[in-house]
């Protein structure tokens, strides 16, 4: 008897597939193309269950699409620049490139042991010069088109990691990685002008029906488009402009004070030489300890300080006091806000705290005007205390007031975005060097294309300090000016790793190109990505940056699509004991252990079976066992039929099938239909797998009914083939092994996806004679093969029967399956 020996057969097939190159694809194919992409991993050293889930899902999609007749691009690579490699270097004295290379080798081995269908010929590794050369080249394209610029910026600085952090890497005022309180520091930094693309990034979300709604909402909120009016307030003393941005210009008559961000350039002018100066300076220092995220949080305790100065409301000529506060940030709108305590809760709290007046200008329709508000009235209503606008709805007044302001030159309609330019400078070593030099004569100069890549030097020292290790390289600093040939120094910053991952999907289309980042015709052939699969933690940044890059490249004529990812699947987390698997919680299940114990096919089946892809998945040891037992059951069933399958000859004679044949065959075709739809339409691998499990049960039932050698060979052959073909994308090794044991040549992974026949799906019916007290009263068509109980149920539910039985008691029901029912009544 042949045993299910996954330990031998899995590596055997992995090697065979690799040898035969069955996952290699090119652009010359008469099949339609399909690009299946999973987010590439950071090579931290070992695959975790999140990876296993991500890559198992992707592998089913890729294999399924291949079987459906597509030319499928399914690549893999490494997001391999970044901080952990550098920290490992500092802590353990291993060079980041060595650490990274070892980790890649290990994780690649692990991926191979999962049997994922990658075309490894297309591997892209962002930390290798043949890749980052093009990251640098792309930087220069942005630079030359005015989309990369340098400016001094107050940045989030983690004193412990000694690096700049993006806003999103600051969590509740602390470094996302090490938890140290983040400080502010003014540095010359490189930015990408993603804000130029804010509107397009927003509008084009409409073109992505294949994205989860929640991801689109997150992107939308991140872009944060807001329509309002910039109102031209002025300083009372000097007449200098102090514009404010408001979305509620309908409340302009209710303004009772102004608040400025402490960093606002007017603050110094307004307070210089006054009695307020010293206190204001102290207040500013205090506020600057807070991050923008804290300052915009609802929980923030609002604090403020009067500056001693006044502003003029251009609509009313009224003078109002100017305050500074911790809740107004400089880099949104104009950094100045008109305070309307009656209609904004934040302003209300502030006014109550500091005894500022509250003036109602909108009230609920049909209600008496309130004297003392206990909270701000933020709902729509009727305008009061607002001159000629009184009595209007506030919505109508919005338009009226904006028109009035524009006519009188008191303000203008503006659109603001919350999206900020993308800070890409990192004062770190393990990243792509920014290809810029500074010449003593010519100033800042881009490195010439033929001088790329700017290679990361290896003669650097790693120690925890505020400086980039690049600065310790004796060779890196000196450069020649590409313009005058004179002495120049290199830019020492490296790029944010999100830059590397913003275009890797394009490199996969043409990974070995040494002349270009990618050839346009190849990218045109494959792009866009038909299915992108990854964690929801990338819903904002990575996806936004990749969309931005794609749009820039589209504008430069380098790609023909404006959106990179047509369909997006965000998979849920893998939990154990109710929480995310993590080292700190000590609840990690190692993929390698599971593969060792049960095999890759069981690991994949469990991951796919335990939950629909978008939901969180709870690890369950006994369910893993269950999947293993199921594969053994498949194994035994198919092995018992190997002879029958091999000997079955000729086409099936559907006319001569027995009832048992027809019933079993119906299950086979119904399962094929369900599995096809579950995978193709909904990615419901879990329900697809349970349908396959039921089909295997039906196979055992059929065998019980017909005996080991007794079934119809053609029916059995069809069932075994369909079963293996459907298992192929899910459990690729066992499917391949059984396929070959059944006498097939060629890989099952190059076969077509099984079809189902409408005819075979149909239920057989039989005509049943219905008797009441022995007299024939009716004839009914019902499903064939019903047992006595089911038959009784169906017949008793029939309407026609009621005329004979109402008012009577049914004493007994006699059933003869497939033939007759006799109802005895009294």
Stretch 252-291: interaction string toward ligand ANZ, x if CB under 6 A: ---------x------------------------------
Please choose, from the candidates 586, 502, 544, the residue with its C-alpha nearest in 3D space to the C-alpha of residue 216: 544
- The torsion of the CA quartet 619, 620, 625, 626, rounded to 10 degrees, works out to -110
* Complex with ligand ANZ: residue 218 or 825, whichever CB lies closer: 218
- Does 337 bind ligand ANZ (CB under 6 A)? Our answer is yes
CA distances (Å), origin 522, targets 509, 510, 526, 629, 671: 6, 7, 6, 45, 38
How many angstroms separate the CA atoms of 363 and 381, rounded? 5
Q: How far is the CB of 347 from ligand ANZ (least distance, A)?
A: 7
- Which single residue is written with the structure tokens 């590439």? 40
- By CB under 5 A, name the one of 52, 424, 439, 506 that touches Zn ion: 439
Q: How far is the CB of 250 from ligand ANZ (least distance, A)?
A: 8
Please choose, from the candidates 600, 624, 641, 603, the residue with its C-alpha nearest in 3D space to the C-alpha of residue 733: 600
- The torsion of the CA quartet 775, 778, 784, 788, rounded to 10 degrees, works out to -40
Q: Pick the stretch among 233-241, 332-340, 403-411, 582-590 that binds ligand ANZ (CB under 6 A).
A: 332-340
- Does 332 bind ligand ANZ (CB under 6 A)? Our answer is yes
Stretch 344-373: interaction string toward ligand ANZ, x if CB under 6 A: x-----------------------------
Q: How far is the CB of 731 from ligand ANZ (least distance, A)?
A: 51
* Complex with ligand ANZ: residue 46 or 416, whichever CB lies closer: 416
* Complex with ligand ANZ: residue 382 or 742, whichever CB lies closer: 382
* Complex with ligand ANZ: residue 263 or 510, whichever CB lies closer: 263
Distinct helix (H) and strand (E) counts, the chain: 27, 35
Q: Pick the stretch among 331-339, 630-638, 696-704, 715-723 that binds ligand ANZ (CB under 6 A).
A: 331-339
- By CB under 6 A, name the one of 246, 550, 670, 671 that touches ligand ANZ: 246
User: Is 150 known as a binding-site position?
Assistant: no
* Complex with Zn ion: residue 485 or 586, whichever CB lies closer: 485
Site for Zn ion in 473-492 (CB under 5 A): 481, 483-484, 486
Q: Pick the stretch among 242-250, 478-486, 513-521, 786-794 that binds ligand ANZ (CB under 6 A).
A: 242-250
* Complex with Zn ion: residue 98 or 444, whichever CB lies closer: 444
- By CB under 6 A, name the one of 329, 728, 770, 772 that touches ligand ANZ: 329
Token pair recorded at residue 293: 């995220």
Cβ 698 vs Cβ 667: under 8 Å? yes
- The torsion of the CA quartet 418, 422, 428, 429, rounded to 10 degrees, works out to 150
Token pair recorded at residue 354: 């500091």
Q: What are residue 532's DSSP bridge partners?
A: 37, 568
Please choose, from the candidates 64, 75, 71, the residue with its C-alpha nearest in 3D space to the C-alpha of residue 27: 71
* Complex with Zn ion: residue 105 or 484, whichever CB lies closer: 484
How many angstroms separate the CA atoms of 734 and 637, rounded? 13
Token pair recorded at residue 115: 């049997």
Q: What are residue 529's DSSP bridge partners?
A: 565
* Complex with Zn ion: residue 441 or 615, whichever CB lies closer: 441
Calculate Rg over the CA atoms of the chain. 35
* Complex with ligand ANZ: residue 335 or 433, whichever CB lies closer: 335
For the packed helices 83-92 and 96-113, what is the interaxial angle rounded to 10 degrees? 120
- The entry of Zn ion, ligand ANZ, none near residue 333 (CB within 5 to 8 angstroms by kind) is ligand ANZ
Token pair recorded at residue 728: 């192929």
* Complex with ligand ANZ: residue 245 or 422, whichever CB lies closer: 245
How many angstroms separate the CA atoms of 234 and 398, rounded? 22
Q: How far is the CB of 186 from ligand ANZ (least distance, A)?
A: 19
- By CB under 5 A, name the one of 441, 463, 512, 808 that touches Zn ion: 441
Q: Pick the stretch among 168-176, 303-311, 333-341, 441-449 that binds ligand ANZ (CB under 6 A).
A: 333-341
- The entry of Zn ion, ligand ANZ, none near residue 636 (CB within 5 to 8 angstroms by kind) is none
* Complex with ligand ANZ: residue 221 or 658, whichever CB lies closer: 221
CA distances (Å), origin 517, targets 505, 510, 553, 677, 740: 11, 8, 11, 38, 42
How many angstroms separate the CA atoms of 433 and 362, rounded? 56
- By CB under 6 A, name the one of 75, 335, 381, 713 that touches ligand ANZ: 335
Q: How far is the CB of 378 from ligand ANZ (least distance, A)?
A: 6
- By CB under 6 A, name the one of 290, 338, 734, 770 that touches ligand ANZ: 338
- Which single residue is written with the structure tokens 């929640």? 214
How many angstroms separate the CA atoms of 617 and 113, rounded? 22
- The entry of ligand ANZ, Zn ion, none near residue 483 (CB within 5 to 8 angstroms by kind) is Zn ion
- The entry of ligand ANZ, Zn ion, none near residue 732 (CB within 5 to 8 angstroms by kind) is none
Angle ∠(393,396,397) on CA atoms, nearest 5: 85
* Complex with Zn ion: residue 436 or 588, whichever CB lies closer: 436
Burial of 285 (0-12, 13-18, 19+ CB in 10 A): exposed
Q: How far is the CB of 157 from ligand ANZ (least distance, A)?
A: 22
- The torsion of the CA quartet 690, 692, 696, 698, rounded to 10 degrees, works out to 80
- Does 718 bind ligand ANZ (CB under 6 A)? Our answer is no
Q: 3-state DSSP call for residue 414? A: strand
Cβ neighbours, 10 Å, residue 372:
5
Q: How far is the CB of 205 from ligand ANZ (least distance, A)?
A: 19
Q: How far is the CB of 441 from Zn ion (least distance, A)?
A: 4
**624-631 long-range contacts, CB within 8 A, separation 24+:** 624/594, 624/598, 627/598, 627/602, 628/598, 628/599, 628/602, 630/605, 630/693, 630/696, 631/4, 631/599, 631/601, 631/602, 631/605, 631/731, 631/734
Q: How far is the CB of 217 from ligand ANZ (least distance, A)?
A: 16
Cβ 315 vs Cβ 253: under 8 Å? yes
Cis peptide before 528 (omega within 30 of 0): yes
Q: How far is the CB of 488 from Zn ion (least distance, A)?
A: 6
514: left (phi over 0), alpha (psi -120 to 50) or beta: alpha
- The entry of Zn ion, ligand ANZ, none near residue 385 (CB within 5 to 8 angstroms by kind) is none
How many angstroms separate the CA atoms of 766 and 791, rounded? 11
- The entry of Zn ion, ligand ANZ, none near residue 441 (CB within 5 to 8 angstroms by kind) is Zn ion
Token pair recorded at residue 75: 């690549």
- By CB under 6 A, name the one of 26, 247, 697, 767 that touches ligand ANZ: 247
- Does 223 bind ligand ANZ (CB under 6 A)? Our answer is no
Q: How far is the CB of 90 from Zn ion (least distance, A)?
A: 36
Q: What is the largest CA-CA distance in the chain?
A: 115
* Complex with Zn ion: residue 438 or 554, whichever CB lies closer: 438
- The entry of ligand ANZ, Zn ion, none near residue 465 (CB within 5 to 8 angstroms by kind) is none
**What is the DSSP secondary structure assignment for residue 68, as one 8-state letter?**
T
Q: Pick the stretch among 238-246, 433-441, 593-601, 670-678 that binds Zn ion (CB under 5 A).
A: 433-441
- By CB under 6 A, name the one of 35, 245, 508, 753 that touches ligand ANZ: 245
Q: How far is the CB of 540 from ligand ANZ (least distance, A)?
A: 17
Q: How far is the CB of 450 from Zn ion (least distance, A)?
A: 17
Q: What are residue 191's DSSP bridge partners?
A: 149, 423
Q: How far is the CB of 479 from Zn ion (least distance, A)?
A: 10
How many angstroms separate the CA atoms of 226 and 248, rounded? 11
Binding residues: 583
Binding residues for ATP: 583
- Chain residues that interact with ligand ANZ, rule: CB under 6 A: 226, 245-248, 251, 261, 328-329, 332-333, 335, 337-338, 340, 343-344, 416
- Chain residues that interact with Zn ion, rule: CB under 5 A: 439, 441-442, 481, 483-484, 486
């Amino acid at each position: 008897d042949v045993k299910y020996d996954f330990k031998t057969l899995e590596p055997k097939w992995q090697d065979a597939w690799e040898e035969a190159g069955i996952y290699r694809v090119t652009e010359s194919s008469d099949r339609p193309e399909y690009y299946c992409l999973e987010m590439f991993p950071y090579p931290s050293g070992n695959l975790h269950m999140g990876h296993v889930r991500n890559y198992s899902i992707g592998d089913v999609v890729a294999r399924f699409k291949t079987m459906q007749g597509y030319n499928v691009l399914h690549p893999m690579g490494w997001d391999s620049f970044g901080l952990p490699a550098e920290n490992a270097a500092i802590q353990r004295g291993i060079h980041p490139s060595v650490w990274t290379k070892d980790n890649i080798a290990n994780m690649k081995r692990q991926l191979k042991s999962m049997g994922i269908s990658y075309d490894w010929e297309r591997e892209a590794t962002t930390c290798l010069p043949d890749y980052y050369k093009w990251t640098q080249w792309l930087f220069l394209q942005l630079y030359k088109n005015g989309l990369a610029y340098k400016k001094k910026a107050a940045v989030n600085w983690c004193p412990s990691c000694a690096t700049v952090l993006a806003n999103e890497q600051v969590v509740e005022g602390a470094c996302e990685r090490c938890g140290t309180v983040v400080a502010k520091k003014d540095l010359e930094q490189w930015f990408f002008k993603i804000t130029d693309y804010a509107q397009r990034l927003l509008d084009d979300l409409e073109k992505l029906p294949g994205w989860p709604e929640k991801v689109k909402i997150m992107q939308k909120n991140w872009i944060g488009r807001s329509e309002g009016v910039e109102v031209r307030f002025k300083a009372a003393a000097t007449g200098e402009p102090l514009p404010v941005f408001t979305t509620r210009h309908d409340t302009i008559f209710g303004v009772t004070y102004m608040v400025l961000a402490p960093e606002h350039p007017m603050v110094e002018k307004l307070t210089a030489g006054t009695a307020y100066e010293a206190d204001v300076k102290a207040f500013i220092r205090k506020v600057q300890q807070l991050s923008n995220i804290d300052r915009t949080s609802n929980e923030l305790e609002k604090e403020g300080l009067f500056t001693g100065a006044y502003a003029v409301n251009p609509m009313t000529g009224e003078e109002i006091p100017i305050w500074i506060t911790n809740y107004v940030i400089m880099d949104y709108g104009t950094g100045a806000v008109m305070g309307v305590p009656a209609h904004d809760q934040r302003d209300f709290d502030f006014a109550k705290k500091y005894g500022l007046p509250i003036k109602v200008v909108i009230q609920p329709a049909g209600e008496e005007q309130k004297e003392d508000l206990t909270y701000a009235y933020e709902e729509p209503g009727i305008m009061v205390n607002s001159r000629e606008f009184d009595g209007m709805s506030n919505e109508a007044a919005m338009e009226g007031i904006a028109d009035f302001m524009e006519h009188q030159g008191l303000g203008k309609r503006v659109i603001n975005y919350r999206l900020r330019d993308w800070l890409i400078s990192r004062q770190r070593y393990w990243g792509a060097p920014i290809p810029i030099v500074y010449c003593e004569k010519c100033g800042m100069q881009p490195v010439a294309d033929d001088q790329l890549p700017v290679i990361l030097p290896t003669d650097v020292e790693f120690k925890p300090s505020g400086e980039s290790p690049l600065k310790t390289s004796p060779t890196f600093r000196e450069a020649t000016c590409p313009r005058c040939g004179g002495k120049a120094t290199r830019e020492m910053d490296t790029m944010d790793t999100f830059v590397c991952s913003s275009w890797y999907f394009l490199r996969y289309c043409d990974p070995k190109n040494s002349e270009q980042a990618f050839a346009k015709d190849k990218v045109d052939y494959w792009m866009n990505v038909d299915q992108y699969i990854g964690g929801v933690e990338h819903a904002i940044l990575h996806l936004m940056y990749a969309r931005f890059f794609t749009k820039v490249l589209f504008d430069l004529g380098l790609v023909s699509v404006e959106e990179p990812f047509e369909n997006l699947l965000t998979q849920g987390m893998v939990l154990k004991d109710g929480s995310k698997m993590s080292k700190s919680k000590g609840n990690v299940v190692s993929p390698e252990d599971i593969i060792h114990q049960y095999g890759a096919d069981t690991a994949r089946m469990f991951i796919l079976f335990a939950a629909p892809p978008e939901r969180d998945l709870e690890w369950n040891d006994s369910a893993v066992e269950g999947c293993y037992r199921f594969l053994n059951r498949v194994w035994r069933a198919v092995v018992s039929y190997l002879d029958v399958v091999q000997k079955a000859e000729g086409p099936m004679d559907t006319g001569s099938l027995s009832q048992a044949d027809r019933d079993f065959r119906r299950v086979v075709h119904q399962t094929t239909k369900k599995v096809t739809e579950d995978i193709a339409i909904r990615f419901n691998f879990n329900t697809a797998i349970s349908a396959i499990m039921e089909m295997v049960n039906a196979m055992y039932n059929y065998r019980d009914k017909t005996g080991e050698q007794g079934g119809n060979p053609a029916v059995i052959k069809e069932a075994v083939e369909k079963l293996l073909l459907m298992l192929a994308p899910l459990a690729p090794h066992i499917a391949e092994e059984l396929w070959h044991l059944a006498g097939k040549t060629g890989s099952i992974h190059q076969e077509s996806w099984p079809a189902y026949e409408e005819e075979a799906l149909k239920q057989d019916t039989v005509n049943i004679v219905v008797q009441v007290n022995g007299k024939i009263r009716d004839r009914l068509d019902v499903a064939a093969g019903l047992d006595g109980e089911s038959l009784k149920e169906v017949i008793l539910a029939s309407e026609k029967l009621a005329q004979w039985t109402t008012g009577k008691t049914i004493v007994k029901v006699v059933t003869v399956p497939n033939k007759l029912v006799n109802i005895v009544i009294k």
